[in-house]
């Protein structure tokens, strides 16, 4: 790729305008000064309006004062459990100012769900980010299939459709992808030039279209909601000849968090609305730029339910230096899975480091694989990895192909041959219907004693 031909991220002019500076004055120092000012205003807001934050951040009645961004590390974190337990106390506006409530019940957890509250202004901020973020990959005349839930006003798909219209782009609302024949028919009939969906949805659609001998004429695609495997990016580029972009976000961020650019060298952060940190999950201390850790963010303009130092549970790192596209915006590397997958490690040398991102790169390149489920049971001296590879049609060649891919991997293959891990592979054919929901994929990790 020729660097001089790289288009600078369109987030830059948008953020420069937000800061009230010329594009040439959009420097790391200007961005930091802006974020520091907004952090101060946010801390004032939550300490005055939220009983929960007042008790945690201003026990003496005085909101914390920050001299510099790094002073944020003195403040306590907000966790998903805090949100579940104290949701109502985090709310900073009256109920009639709340335009939308999103309830998140994570799979496998009991107890109260997470409830996020957004005002109309909060939703407008998300729309504004979607509008400028999507201009990275589509423009007037494009037709974008939105494979995300969008039936309810204010839902991610509905906001995205509104944002696309602002761009002069025609949205093709579809909803979460379940039935492959219907989705393919809609994309063909509507002449989609781009799509937005989760990585495994897009992969299944590509495999299904290929099986039917149909080539979709997509110029771009945006993968979102779940971490993005490189193997899926490569497959989509090959099947559709399209350029694949990636978005990182979650409901707690106000849906949108960061999007990569034509350089595909990390995600440009949504600086006006979010302050990102990466911390050592064990000590809670910030790590230097370039060092991996847990992603933590603070909202900067949210009115309904601002979040202070919210721990995402996602693993990634901030990237040093400016982007090859020329932007000074801070960048986050592609997310490397969930922290929850890591603690099942039992001791040095006993079982290989296995997580979803590692398995993704081994399994998704296999022709026919559209998804998988994996369980890892770790004991003191041996581990058991069970992989269920999912294809669209029954395929006898799949089990040996999956076994060969696992055997060929540096970590799993060596441990397997040394008897430190046992591997079982099974397959299941999905037919034309996808079963996975919109949740983030994660390895099911279990800690067991030997002999169980
Ligand atoms: Zn860039």
The pTM of the full predicted model, rounded to 2 decimals, is 0.93
CA 290 / ligand 1 centre spacing (Å): 17
Residues 227 and 142 in one domain: yes
pLDDT given for residue 342 in this prediction = 54
CA 244 / ligand 1 centre spacing (Å): 14
The CATH number that applies at residue 190 is 3.40.50.980
* Long-range pairs, 36-39, Cβ under 8 A, ≥24: 36/66, 36/68, 36/69, 38/272, 38/275, 38/300, 38/301, 39/66, 39/69, 39/72, 39/275, 39/298, 39/300
CA 217 / ligand 1 centre spacing (Å): 25
Angle between helices 28-49 and 11-19 (to 10 degrees): 60
Residues 116 and 77 in one domain: yes
Place of tokens 């799979």: 107
CA 215 / ligand 1 centre spacing (Å): 30
pLDDT given for residue 377 in this prediction = 84
CA 11 / ligand 1 centre spacing (Å): 9
CA 136 / ligand 1 centre spacing (Å): 10
CA 326 / ligand 1 centre spacing (Å): 6
Q: Pick from 248, 281, 300: which residue ends a domain?
A: 248
Residues 274 and 286 in one domain: yes
The CATH number that applies at residue 353 is 3.30.70.1350
CA 261 / ligand 1 centre spacing (Å): 5
pLDDT given for residue 4 in this prediction = 53
CA 352 / ligand 1 centre spacing (Å): 35
Q: Pick from 286, 316, 336: which residue ends a domain?
A: 336
pLDDT digits (tens, 9 = 90+) for 328-377: 999 999 998 888 775 444 444 455 678 888 899 999 999 999 999 998 88
pLDDT given for residue 382 in this prediction = 81
Summary count for the chain: helices (H), strands (E): 12, 18
User: Which residues of the chain have a pLDDT value below 50?
Assistant: 1-3, 343-349, 449-452
CA 425 / ligand 1 centre spacing (Å): 40
CA 2 / ligand 1 centre spacing (Å): 14
452 in any annotated domain: no
Show the domain range for 432: 340-447
């Amino acid at each position: 790729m020729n660097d001089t031909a790289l288009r600078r991220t369109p987030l830059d002019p948008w953020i420069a305008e937000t800061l009230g500076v010329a594009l040439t004055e959009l420097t790391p120092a200007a961005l930091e000064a802006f974020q520091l000012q907004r952090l101060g205003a946010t801390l004032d807001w939550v300490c005055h309006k939220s009983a929960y934050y007042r008790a945690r951040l201003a026990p003496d009645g005085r909101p914390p004062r920050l001299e510099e961004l790094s002073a944020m590390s003195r403040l306590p974190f907000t966790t998903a459990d805090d949100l579940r337990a104290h949701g109502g106390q985090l709310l900073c506006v009256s109920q009639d100012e709340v335009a939308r409530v999103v309830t998140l019940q994570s799979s496998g957890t009991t107890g109260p769900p997470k409830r996020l509250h957004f005002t109309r202004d909060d939703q407008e901020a998300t729309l504004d980010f979607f509008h400028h973020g999507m201009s990275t990959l589509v423009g007037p005349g494009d037709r974008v299939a939105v494979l995300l839930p969008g039936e309810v006003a204010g839902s991610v798909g509905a906001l995205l459709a509104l944002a696309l219209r602002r761009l002069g782009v025609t949205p093709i609302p579809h909803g979460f992808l379940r039935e492959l024949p219907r989705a393919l028919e809609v994309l063909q009939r509507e002449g989609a030039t781009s799509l937005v969906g989760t990585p495994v949805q897009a992969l299944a659609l590509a495999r299904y279209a290929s099986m039917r001998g149909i080539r979709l004429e997509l110029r771009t695609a945006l993968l979102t909601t779940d971490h993005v495997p490189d193997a899926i990016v490569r497959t989509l580029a090959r099947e559709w000849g399209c350029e694949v972009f990636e978005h990182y976000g979650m409901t707690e961020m106000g849906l949108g968090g960061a999007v990569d650019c034509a350089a595909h060298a990390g995600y440009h952060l949504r600086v006006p609305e979010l302050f990102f940190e990466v911390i050592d999950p064990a000590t809670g201390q910030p790590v230097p730029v370039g060092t991996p850790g847990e992603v933590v963010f603070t909202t900067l303009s949210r009115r309904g339910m601002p979040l202070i130092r919210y721990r995402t549970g996602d693993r990634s790192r901030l990237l040093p230096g400016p982007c090859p596209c020329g932007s000074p915006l801070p960048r986050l590397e592609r997310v490397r899975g969930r922290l929850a997958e890591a603690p099942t490690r039992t001791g040095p040398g006993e079982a290989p480091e296995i997580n979803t991102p590692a398995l993704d790169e081994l399994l998704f390149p296999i022709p026919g694989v559209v998804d998988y489920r994996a369980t890892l049971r770790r004991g003191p001296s041996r581990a058991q990895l069970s992989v269920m590879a999912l294809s669209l049609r029954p395929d006898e060649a799949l089990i040996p192909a999956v076994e060969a891919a696992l055997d060929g991997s540096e970590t799993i293959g060596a441990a397997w041959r040394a008897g430190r891990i046992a591997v079982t592979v099974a397959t299941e054919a999905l037919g034309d219907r996808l079963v996975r929901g919109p949740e983030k994929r994660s390895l099911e990790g279990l800690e067991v004693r030997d002999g169980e």
